[in-house]
Amino acid sequence: MNEINDRSIMTALGRQLTIAVAKQSVSAGNLANLDTPGYKTREASFDDLLTQQVQNAETLAATAPGHIAAAPVVTPTHGVKEVDGLPTRRDGNNVELDRELLKMNKASGDFTAAQTALTAKFRLVRYALAESR
């Protein structure tokens, strides 16, 4: 049974931040290639990114009890696939400006939500430290 504790919460929030950044990077790449002939829209797959995060988390470990395990780095090339079923223009490009802006906005919201939760957690820690003096 999985235990909910500070470490697991911080790990999950860190994972959410990393995945949001990967999704924003892929959308930014799509937008950068908006007018590139033959370019096909790419999308970060949440399932693939999450699987990669979990596998990397299992391979990284703290070497001493006081150490914090390092967060794995996700590059936008992992868990990224071409999107099927989008209308293609005559130049072979299928990037849609509105779709990419919407995806970037959603990823930004996910990042902000995780960041807000982390900020609240650190605020509680600072409060506890200040009250203990």
pLDDT tens digits, one per residue of 66-110: 666 555 554 555 678 898 899 999 999 999 999 999 999 999 999
Is residue 65 a part of any domain in this protein?
A: yes
User: Which tokens hold the place of 64?
Assistant: 């001493």
Is residue 101 a part of any domain in this protein?
A: yes
Is residue 1 a part of any domain in this protein?
A: no
Residue 115 in this model has a pLDDT that exceeds 80: yes
Is residue 125 a part of any domain in this protein?
A: yes
CA angle 75, 95, 36 (to 5 degrees): 85
Is residue 48 a part of any domain in this protein?
A: yes
Parent domain of 10: 6-131
Is residue 114 a part of any domain in this protein?
A: yes
Enumerate long-range contacts of 69-73, CB under 8 Å, 24 or more apart: 71/14, 71/18, 72/18, 73/18
Is residue 123 a part of any domain in this protein?
A: yes
Is residue 78 a part of any domain in this protein?
A: yes
Q: How far apart are CA 114 and CA 58, in angstroms?
A: 22
pLDDT of 12-68, one tens digit each?
Answer: 899 899 999 999 999 999 999 999 999 999 998 766 666 665 666 555 556 666 666
CA angle 92, 94, 98 (to 5 degrees): 150
Asked if residues 11 and 57 have their Cβ atoms less than 8 Å apart, the reply is yes
Question: How many domains are contained in the chain?
Answer: 1
